[in-house]
Structure 1
Amino acid sequence: MERLLRSALARVVRRGSLTVVFASGKKVIFGDGSGEPLAMRFTSPAWEKQVALDPELKFGEAYMEGGLVVDRGDIAQILALLMSQVGLQVPSPPAKLLMKLRFLFRRLAQFNPRDRSQKNVAHHYDLDGRLYSLFLDADRQYSCAYFERPGQTLDDAQLAKKRHIAAKLLFNRPDLATLDIGCGWGGMALYLAENAGARVTGVTLSQEQLGVAKCRAEERHLADRAEFRLQDYRDVPGPFDRIVSVGMFEHVGVGHYDEYFTKIASLLKDDGVALIHSIGRSEGPGITNPWIAKYIFPGGYIPALSEVLPAIERAGLYVADVEILRLHYAETLKAWRERFLAHREEVERIYDERFVRMFEFYLASSEMAFRHQGMEIFQVQLAKREGVVPMTRAYIAEAEAGLKAAEKRNRPGLRLAGE
């Protein structure tokens, strides 16, 4: 089996310099010698066999369980080297067969009725709340930030994301009834209530997130404008002037797209606007990485626009605008990974060393997927009829300027201790 793994690595690693020490003690250098030298080793023949037969799943498991150890560089650099290679597009015969089988059964893996959806959400979002406070921004935005300029801080980029989305939602009058599908810890809903004058209903399937969102609304005296519920979007009554969903669509599942957009169409008023912000794949329909599906986001799937747009059309909705955000999520994930690793000892005290390696692998592999493998963010703006959204995009910058002014007015002033 060592021979099969060596053959696969030789086929994949054409550029760079990767030294691999196999369980037998044999050391092999792969690549053309360019770039920073990296090194890793396998601790047993069993792990070599598993990685050779199913690298998509077992490479991450080997790192989690100590079957793969990085001796030079870190796992992010190893993944960057592997995932940026052209040869990675030619998998070994066993891996190719597994990919075909997983694609064949992908709808079953993404079947997300109400009870299963709640269990899948709890798997990731109901983790110990201290974990997320260690690597997210102050507002706990757990989705792609919007970097307006190089060197912008994560907190400023997440604020810019909320502002950019709010601008596209056209809050042209106060008290617009707004639905936030998958509201997380409430950051977007509270932003819209505070700075856009909206009356927001946020729904989530996470008990942990619901509790935090409600507390934050009370603390900021916004409970009368921002209501949070533990509720499936399919059970929400309408109608609404505005609907927003940020980072939730990836959990819907390809078999539920018609159901999702039909529900949005039924909830949206005739002159309403909706904005869907989701991770997307640029290379057409695919499958969820099996390691991600098993350990991080069960039931999740990153769609191609070619899978999404037909469902929008069938629901009778107009696509008013589509924007693709390139590399913004790579920079977001890099910032999360650096913050996470800066607190790895604290995370280990909350969980254990295996969890630390699992979460590090998740952040690193996700970052490299956005840098090297065609992952992106799409923001799709929807309406029920023509003429609701202005003919040009000039309104976005104008609305962002108005929202910036509102942010300054609503930002609490600094006070000295004791005041």
Structure 2
Amino acid sequence: MSVSQKTKSAILFLSEPVHTDLYEELVSKYQIFNFRFAKKGKSREEQQEKFLEYVSKNFYPATKHKLDALYLGYAGFAPLPAGLTIEMIENNQQLQYLKVVVMCSRGINNVPYDYLTKNMGAVVQNYDDSELYVANDVADCGVYHVLESFRKFSYQQSKLREVLHSDGARGHLRGDAEDELRFCFGHELKVIDDDGTLKSQDEVKTSETNEGKEKNRPVQKKETTDVYEYMYTISPMNKKALILGFGNIGQTLAKKLKYGLSMDVYYSTRSGKNTLDKSMDEFSYYPWGEWTENLSQFDCIILCLPLSPQTKHIVDEKFLLNCARFKQGNLNHLSLVNLGRGMLIDWANIPKDFIKTKIRHVGLDVFYAEPLLTRECDDLTISNSTITPHIGSSTFEVFNRSSEFCLDVIKKHLD
């Protein structure tokens, strides 16, 4: 009697799918199992031990249920030390019958793709975003961070919720005294001094004036002009944006920035200028790898790159120094947004004062040591940054479409 005659096909879900008619059809045909990694309190090694223990107890040859399909959802095997490894498969017979492995994410991560497909003949499939729902929604997240970097809406909202008075909130943000009734237009925010302390515009101007009188010379604004610009709210209109990485997300974001925020958009890719798609001619190409002083022309740089040996730590101290515009190391005009992967930025070797006092804005949807927020967030505050918990594509529509897509792949290859 063959293995197939002695067993019943089983599907293991590591996350909850959408319970559509397609899901119910799979339930009626196959044995369904559900395993969840612990959200906290367990080390990666403990998570792996629990998973393998569950697999060994519930699937053939320990039982009649043969594990034919894995539904990984978004996180998949990220909680394990190295994901699902070849060693784990070879040492656990229960994992050696896999026919289908599906994941709702846009990447294929934490599984040995070549081994599963070539050695085992399994189908390994991630969500196909052919309708560009993921690209559109991640691009929306990028627009949010870019717009916030210029207008600082969240920072102003936080003060308004505290003060509950629109005129008063604008005054507080500028640094006016509690009982001051002077009208504030709303474009002036507190500025950051060289020592990292916050000062109001008036405090800086008074300090300049006194210094000028003491030295019996005209007041020179050169030393603080860049500091003023750090915390003005400014319009994104006609500002220059550079997008590194120009796949579906980068292209969709470029259109939103150009037609939604009226920005002047450039792009750069490892493959060079796009000469095949004429619709891309409306965007200027910036040469890949030219991380020189020419970067100083850009007001905003957005990372839409995958992680690879060529892109890891692409933004480092040297890269940022070349972005300086007013004087060496001063980035008070620059907004840096990361929608790609946390390790694109070499946070450990970027001087802390760049983030604390030298850069206008940092917008992050991804982090270096996800899911933890570590080095990159030490000096980020609501006044100089926006952070979102990797939710660029986290919409109802994407969740439903990716779930249904993966369920359909399982159905086609098990039926």
Q: TM-score under structure 2 normalisation?
A: 0.39
Larger radius of gyration: 2
